[in-house]
Amino acid sequence: MSSSRDYPIDSQLLNILTREMNRQRDKLEMIASENFVSENILRITASVFTNKYAEGYPDFRYYGGCEYADELEILTQGRARKLFGAEHANVQPHSGSTANMAALFAVLKPGDPIMGMDMAHGGHLTHGAPVSFSGKLFKSHSYGVRQDTEQIDYEALIAQAEEVKPKVIVAGASSYPRILDFEKFRQAADRVGAILLVDMAHYAGMVAAGLYPSPVPHAEIVTSTTHKTLRGPRGGLILCRKPFGKAIDEEVFPGIQGGPLLHVIAAKAAALGEALEPDFIDYQRLILKNTQRLATRMADAGFRLVSGGTDIHLVLIDLRTKHLTGIQAEEALDKAGITANKNTIPFDTQRYTVTSGLRLGTAALTTRGMVEHHMDEVADFVVSALRSVDDEGQLKKIREAVAAFTRKFPLYPGLEF
């Protein structure tokens, strides 16, 4: 092979790539865990660093030719520490789940007790769900929200910690619309000498902007994804206090991963760089305003918001009062050109494949350039689709209106895929 021109992209693959691009362009992206990276980050993710092996860390690699890899990783670690005020950063985890795995493995032995939020109440798989490594390898105890407030009961959490004596308490969630009280989590951990692991996957962007309380002063270890509100490439990140650095690094590599994805680390450096710019705060502030506006419109249309509202970038809607299930809503929205996900709500009586909830996020819409008043139109599209779940003709009409609307917010103009 002398050059990549020897291998044109075959039409079958090209067709998939361009249709995905069109999907992202034409639809309203409301999955709360998704976002659109900048064109720079897109380009960097496709850089020649994808060709390079660099097992190890900047001070010790198992391969030659790592001088620029070293420089890159040191730069990225430094930006992560600076952005979040952390003592130590590992930027190698391939995903948020791997970051959590490394963090848990670094401080636990198989069979040790852990406490994490119940997945049915908003927690993540890796916080002790039975189907995950975290529930299989550790003795997992879950905490949830109160049925009346749909918020975490910290007194109950502390009492549960005293009872089950976890070695690690995991704080963090994927569909809990309220701000977590990290001081209370710290108190619970201190009562029993547990390590506090905060998984800020969903909040990282807001934390970076100072609009969500930082877990870093409270937790020994903080994990995150880089691709949600942080608006970076798909990947993970671990921050920790100095004494945990060595154990964490050894768990990431060689514990569970091989070579780092240097092209993704380069894109993480770019994302962290973007997040260090002052206008990133404006972006995060706008996400929060947009979510408030969306929440208000949905509530005005008679939808019940779990916990009565939101403090963050997402709303969780209880569809039961509208006699809809999550899967019905997800499918109707998809036909209407709106991408979102069904979600269990606390004390859901439907199976997780059906659910009674719908999770809507605004981070990706905000990246596309939508501001508060646009959320009125977005909410109107959502509401009319949810009123037309069985009306294919109406859903098609909404999809056409959505496509016309999204054209006003160009995405990667000029790019083929």
Ligand X SMILES: *Cc1c(COP(=O)(O)O)cnc(C)c1O
Please report how close the Cβ of residue 103 comes to ligand X at its closest, in angstroms. 11
Q: Is 202 in the site for ligand X (CB under 6 A)?
A: yes
Say if CB 92 and CB 259 are below 8 A apart: no
Active site residue 23: no
Smallest distance, ligand X to C-beta of residue 124, A: 4
* Residue 190 C-beta: closest distance to ligand X, Å: 23
356 binds ligand X (CB under 6 A): no
Q: Which is nearer to ligand X, 236 or 326 (CB)?
A: 236
Q: Where are the alpha helices (DSSP H) in 165-261?
A: 182-192, 204-208, 245-250
How many CB atoms lie under 10 A from the CB of residue 225? 25
**Interface with ligand X (CB under 6 A), residue from 35, 77, 92, 126:** 126
Q: Least distance in Å: CB of 56 to ligand X?
A: 23
CA gap 398, 380 in Å, rounded: 10
- Measured N-to-C along each axis, helices 372-386 and 279-300 cross at an angle, to the nearest 10 degrees, of 40
Q: Does position 135 bind ligand X by CB under 6 A? A: no
Whether residue 53 lies in the annotated active site = yes
Task: Identify the DSSP state of 352.
Answer: T
Measure the CA–CA gap between 46 and 342, rounded to whole angstroms: 32
Tokens of 180: 């977590």
How far apart CA 343 and CA 18 sit, in angstroms, is 29
Nearer to ligand X, 225 or 310 (CB): 225
What is the amino acid identity at position 197? L
Q: Which residues pair with 251 in a beta bridge?
A: none
Query: What distances in angstroms separate CA 309 from CA 127, 291, 318, 348, one per listed residue?
Result: 24, 10, 11, 18
Specify whether 376 is catalytic: no
- The one catalytic residue among 27, 228, 335, 368: 228
- Separation CA 367–CA 271 (nearest Å): 13
**174 contributes a contact to ligand X by CB under 6 A:** yes
Residue 139 CB neighbours (<10 A): 16
Catalytic residue among 118, 199, 249, 311: 199
Does residue 206 contact residue 180 with C-beta atoms inside 8 Å? no
Instruction: Determine which residue in the list 96, 116, 215, 260 makes contact with ligand X, applying CB under 6 A.
Output: 96
Residues 212-231 touching ligand X, rule: CB under 6 A, are 225
Regarding 95 and contact with ligand X (CB under 6 A), the answer is: yes
93 or 337: CB nearest ligand X: 93
Are the C-beta atoms of 100 and 126 separated by less than 8 Å? yes
- CB-based contact 300:357 (threshold 8 Å): no
> Binding ligand X by CB under 6 A: which of 116, 172, 177, 232?
172
d(CA 10, CA 15): 9
The smaller minimum CB distance to ligand X, of residues 126 and 366, is found at 126
Question: Among residues 100 and 140, whose Cβ is nearest to ligand X?
Answer: 100
Among 26, 55, 181, 334, the one annotated catalytic: 55
Q: Give Dmax (Cα) for the chain.
A: 66
Could you say whether residue 134 binds ligand X (CB under 6 A)? no
| 339 labelled catalytic | no
Q: Which of 124, 167, 178, 335 binds ligand X (CB under 6 A)?
A: 124
229 a catalytic residue: no
The reply on whether position 186 binds ligand X by CB under 6 A is no
Q: Which is nearer to ligand X, 97 or 362 (CB)?
A: 97
Shortest Å, Cβ 207 to ligand X = 13
Nearest CB to ligand X, comparing residues 128 and 166 = 128
Q: What is the rounded CA–CA span in Å between residue 336 and residue 322? A: 18
* Window 30 to 69, contacts with ligand X (CB under 6 A): 33
Nearest distance from C-beta of residue 65 to ligand X, angstroms = 29
Nearer to ligand X, 122 or 337 (CB): 122
Q: Is 343 in the site for ligand X (CB under 6 A)?
A: no
Q: Is 311 a catalytic residue?
A: no
Three-state DSSP string of 6-39: HCCCCHHHHHHHHHHHHHHHHCEECCCCCCCCCH
Helix (H) / strand (E) containing 314: strand 314-318
Quick check: 201 binds ligand X (CB under 6 A)?
A: yes
Name the site residues for ligand X (rule: CB under 6 A): 33, 95-97, 100, 124, 126, 172-174, 199, 201-202, 225, 236
- By annotation, the residues acting in catalysis are 53, 55, 199, 225, 228, 234
